[in-house]
Amino acid sequence: MIDIKKEIQKDRRAFIKNVLGGTIAGSLLLVIPAGSNAVEIPEQLPGMRDEDSVFTKKNFVFIVDVTACIGCGSCCVADKNEYNVPDGNYRTWVERYIIDDHDEVYVDSPNGGLDGYTEPRTDIPFPVRDTFFVPKLCNMCEKPSCVQVCPVGATYKTEDGFILIDKDRCVGCGYCIQACPYSVRYLNPVTRTADKCTWCYHRVRKGLLPACVNVCPVHARKFGDLNDKKSEVYKLLREPHVISVLKPGMGNKPALHYLGLRREVV
């Protein structure tokens, strides 16, 4: 072990020089932005970082496993942090379903499930038969009503299936909010334009999973490329599983699928 006192006594001037130099060098590392490769996050979506065209040839789908969700609200927290979503508006939320033995269905989603479901409901008059959680987010419809009705084309569909909003074009008329059968849209009070979940397009373009998928502790949210036969989503959708979409009668053909979806869910 180096005896500090001895070192200092040996050459006080050199010691101070070294300490100062080290401090300045260390501070500079904090001030000068590190290159994007400095902290390399491993690619979560295979092949995305090799994509160089504007639109990928991928066919992204989102699968929510209703049987796995524990209603912890991590996805909602991650989403709110990722987008700084104004209070009272929800890009994603988690619903709690409770069915009693008289087949009455009770649904709630206090604060969109942001705080997690830590307390049981106490207002159910009969014994509970079943209970489950259903996370909701943008359905990324193949035939999106919002894109159809937007008067200025501010809401559009990319060739790889994302429905996005150009907040610099949106006039804030709210027609898309009326047209969305799933109520995933809201009028952002800060930008005064329509807003909604994007399946974290900015992350996906960089080969990362959507923020909510990334944080889900029980892997209830799954995201991937249906064209990739090795992907989990391909296997789930191509193999015999109980899979459905929300409001199929609307004819919007969502790319958001639900594993183990129950008929009580709207």
Partner 1 sequence: MSVAAHGETAAAVANYIFPNDLHVHWSLMIVLYPYITGIVAGAFIVSSLYHVFHIKELKPIARFSLLFALAFLICATWPLLNHLGHPERAMSMMLTPNPTSAMAGFGYIYSAYMIVLLLEILFLYRPTVVALKKQTSGFMRTLYGILSVGSDNVSEKALRLDHKIISFLAAIGIPMACVLHGYVGFIFGGIKANPLWATPLMPLIFLLSACVSGIAGIIVAYTLIMKFTGQPLDVNCIRTCVKFLWGFFILDFVFEMLELFSHFYMATHHWHTLEALYSGPLYVSFWVLQVGVFSVIPFFLLMALSLVNWNDKVIAFFAPIVSVMILCQVLLMRWNVVVGGQLMSKSERGATTFHPQWLEKEGILPAIIIMVAPIVILWIIGKILPFWQKDDPAAQQAG
Which positions touch partner 1 (CB under 8 A)?
A: 87-90, 93, 95, 104-112, 121, 123, 136, 145, 147-153, 169-175, 177-187, 191-193, 250-251, 266
Min separation Cβ 209 and partner 1, Å: 24
Which residue number, 198 or 231, has a Cβ lying nearer to partner 1?
A: 198
Burial class (CB in 10 A: 0-12, 13-18, 19+), 61: buried
State both tokens at 97. 């379903």
Min separation Cβ 123 and partner 1, Å: 6
* Residue whose C-alpha is closest to residue 265's, from 80, 101, 109: 109
* Residue whose C-alpha is closest to residue 139's, from 92, 97, 175: 92
Min separation Cβ 184 and partner 1, Å: 7
Min separation Cβ 193 and partner 1, Å: 6
Min separation Cβ 68 and partner 1, Å: 22
Which residue number, 50 or 123, has a Cβ lying nearer to partner 1?
A: 123
d(CA 221, CA 63): 6
Per residue, the 3-state secondary structure of 12-47, as one string, reads HHHHHHHHHHHHHHHHHHHHCCCCCCCCCCCCCCCC
Min separation Cβ 55 and partner 1, Å: 19
Which residue number, 19 or 266, has a Cβ lying nearer to partner 1?
A: 266
Spatial contact of 203 and 210, defined as CB atoms under 8 Å apart: yes
Which residue number, 56 or 92, has a Cβ lying nearer to partner 1?
A: 92
Which residue number, 56 or 193, has a Cβ lying nearer to partner 1?
A: 193
Which residue number, 75 or 236, has a Cβ lying nearer to partner 1?
A: 75
Min separation Cβ 177 and partner 1, Å: 5
Q: What are phi and psi of 225, to 5 degrees?
A: -100, 120
d(CA 226, CA 230): 9
Which residue number, 146 or 208, has a Cβ lying nearer to partner 1?
A: 146
Give the Å distances, CA to CA, from 58 to 24, 110, 132, 234, 243: 47, 36, 32, 12, 21
